[in-house]
Chain A
Amino acid sequence: MSLFQEIRWHGRGGQGAWTASELLAKAAILEGRYIQSFPEFGPERMGAPMAAYTRISDAPIKLHCSIYNPNVVVVLDPTLLKTVKITQGLAENGVLVVNTRENPAELRKKLDIASQKVWTVPATDIAIKVLNLPITNTSMLGAAARAASLVKLESIEKVIRERFQPTLAERNIAVIREAYKEAKTE
């Protein structure tokens, strides 16, 4: 695991990108690391494209600016691919995790990605199957945790149990485990 990681989450208002960012940050705290988590909204309404950011570090973080060159970009909604520049500023050895039914090679070609790693996971399918809702934040959290080896799965599960009521927590943990397993790269 590297010393300093910056993650950008692309989502739409109401999909829980900020919640995912917070959950990841809390899971990192459990592993004794330092964190920052903040959202950036454009128009503050449901369905509007927004971004959330997470910083994870082994040392106290003295940076307080926005994240311009993330190591990891997570996309919660496949329809954002055509409206938002999701690869903007992504580090050359970065990781891109996208919720889509396409396979990583197709996506790499479509988005014209050079050196970064591409991971895909059909998160909407998983969320609808398990939660009966098209809310993909927890599944993408599971996929991102594996793709970029950000935190351990157990830490995320512990945080989920703290944050949600027991029944909802168990369902979200099921979603995270499935996404963790289903995430694939080239």
Chain B
Amino acid sequence: MSQEQKGWKEIPIAGVCWRPATEYATGDWKTFKPIRDPEKCTKCLLCPMICPDAAIKWNKAEEDIEFDYDFCKGCGICANECPTHAIKMVREGES
């Protein structure tokens, strides 16, 4: 959307992904973010599997799941699928 004129050295090579999505936050624009209630969570590990953005990960050291909010787009699939309703979607900026 930028109207800045770029020189040929700055233009990305056509058709080539020169920078992978792991290098920048692809989910910084969500409206709702998932919050987990650790009391209700049984660590069934359904959510890491169904997350379309692979934003829920198993933290080996802590033996717990964790959300990667840089990549979570706030779709709410995890909250919808959680068998114990341990995940709630809240407005970004509220906790």
Interfacial residues, chain A to chain B (CB-CB below 8 A): 10, 12, 40, 42, 47, 49-51, 66, 68, 77, 79-80, 82-85, 88-89, 101, 124, 128, 134
Given A79-B29, A80-B29, A134-B32, 7 more A-B residue pairs with CB atoms under 8 Å apart are A40-B1, A42-B1, A49-B1, A50-B1, A66-B3, A83-B28, A88-B2
Interfacial residues, chain B to chain A (CB-CB below 8 A): 1-3, 28-29, 31-32, 73, 91, 93
Instruction: Tell me the bound Cα distance from A124 to B3 in angstroms.
Output: 28
Indicate if the CB atoms of A68 and B3 lie closer than 8 Å: yes
Q: Give which listed residue, B3, B32, B91, contacts A89 with CB less than 8 A.
A: B3
Contact residues in B for A128 (Cβ distance below 8 Å):
31, 91
Indicate if the CB atoms of B1 and A10 lie closer than 8 Å: yes
Contact residues in A for B28 (Cβ distance below 8 Å):
79, 82-83
Q: Give which listed residue, B2, B31, B73, B91, contacts A85 with CB less than 8 A.
A: B2
Indicate if the CB atoms of A51 and B1 lie closer than 8 Å: yes
Contact residues in A for B93 (Cβ distance below 8 Å):
101
Indicate if the CB atoms of B29 and A77 lie closer than 8 Å: yes
Contact residues in B for A47 (Cβ distance below 8 Å):
29, 73
Contact residues in A for B73 (Cβ distance below 8 Å):
47
Indicate if the CB atoms of A124 and B31 lie closer than 8 Å: yes
Contact residues in B for A68 (Cβ distance below 8 Å):
3
Instruction: Tell me the bound Cα distance from A88 to B29 in angstroms.
Output: 21
Q: How far is the CB of A116 from chain B (nearest CB, A)?
A: 18
Instruction: Tell me the bound Cα distance from A10 to B1 in angstroms.
Output: 9
Instruction: Tell me the bound Cα distance from A12 to B28 in angstroms.
Output: 12
Indicate if the CB atoms of A88 and B31 lie closer than 8 Å: no
Instruction: Tell me the bound Cα distance from A39 to B3 in angstroms.
Output: 15
Instruction: Tell me the bound Cα distance from A89 to B1 in angstroms.
Output: 12
| B30 and chain A: residue at smallest CB distance | A79
Q: How far is the CB of A32 from chain B (nearest CB, A)?
A: 32
Instruction: Tell me the bound Cα distance from A82 to B24 in angstroms.
Output: 13
Instruction: Tell me the bound Cα distance from A105 to B73 in angstroms.
Output: 30
Q: How far is the CB of A131 from chain B (nearest CB, A)?
A: 12
Provide 18 A-B residue pairs closer than 8 Å at the C-beta atoms, listed in order of the A residue.
Answer: A10-B1, A12-B29, A40-B1, A47-B29, A49-B1, A50-B1, A51-B1, A66-B3, A68-B3, A79-B28, A79-B29, A82-B28, A83-B28, A84-B1, A85-B2, A88-B2, A128-B31, A134-B32
Contact residues in A for B2 (Cβ distance below 8 Å):
84-85, 88
Q: How far is the CB of B46 from chain A (nearest CB, A)?
A: 25
Instruction: Tell me the bound Cα distance from A77 to B93 in angstroms.
Output: 14
Instruction: Tell me the bound Cα distance from A10 to B91 in angstroms.
Output: 21
